[in-house]
Amino acid sequence: MGSIGATVRRAFGPYERHVSELYRRIFIDLEDLSDCIRGWTEPTAICEIGCGEGALAERLCRDFPDASYLGIDIIPHLGRMFEDERAEFRQIDAQDLAKEAAGKFDLIVINDVMHHVPGALRVDILKAAQQLLVPGGVLVFKDWLKRKTPIHAACYFADVHIGGDKNVAYMPLQDQRDLITSVFGQDAIVAEQSIKPWSQNHAFKIVK
């Protein structure tokens, strides 16, 4: 059974895409995130782990027209909201992809994925991202910060009751840093930036 949010959005038929964009914009400005990524790197081969229905994929393909793009996720119907001949989507997890495509990408993006991942698997996903990157490649890791604010309560409600993830678990900023450096090393984080419209959208630039 799909989430309540997906069911409601599909009820809008041809307007589903517009409704999805308006809903998403309450929590994150993907244009600001794509601007941040463009300022941090100029990739030739992109892999997005946890690409969902393709909202960020559309922007990455637009901003990096000469780069290849692969979006992966474990959900069905991934990439269904975006079609581009350069965009490839595969239903596969990061660990399995790393076994067949190690060192194939100079940009990995993990956007608002980790708070949906069980704690025991988070290190494994980052290790897979590390394996997928070429030496000197960039990981852009963006996730929602755990803070006691009204918008955090709204985000939790949206993830649990609209998105349908009863096991969502956010991390505070230091826990995110500790997770990243436990895999990539203490000096791997070279830049950080808040993404509009909320400072709880926090992005890291990590270099392998």
Report in angstroms the alpha-carbon separations of 197 from 26, 82, 203. Answer: 8, 24, 13
User: HSE-up of 26 (CA within 13 Å, CB side)?
Assistant: 15
Domain ranges of the chain: 4-207
- What is each CA distance from 170 to 83, 156, 159, in whole angstroms? 31, 9, 11
Q: In whole angstroms, what is the distance from residue 108 CA to residue 85 CA?
A: 20
Record the pTM: 0.92
Between helix 119-132 and helix 173-184 the angle, nearest 10°, is 50
Task: Give pLDDT, residue 81.
Answer: 75
Task: For 53-74, write each residue's pLDDT tens digit.
Answer: 899 999 999 999 999 999 999 9
In this predicted model, what pLDDT tens digit does every residue of 150-208 receive, in sequence order?
Answer: 999 999 999 998 888 999 999 999 999 999 999 999 999 999 999 999 999 999 999 99
CA 12 vs CA 5, 6, 83: distances in Å? 11, 10, 19
Topology at the third CATH level for domain 4-207: Rossmann fold (3.40.50)
Per-residue pLDDT, averaged over 139-150, amounts to 98
pLDDT exceeds cutoff 70 at 116: yes
CA torsion angle 123 208 78 85 (round to 10): -170
Q: Average pLDDT of the chain?
A: 92
| Whether the predicted pLDDT of 19 surpasses 80 | no
Q: State the pLDDT confidence band at 13, using cuts at 50, 70 and 90.
A: low
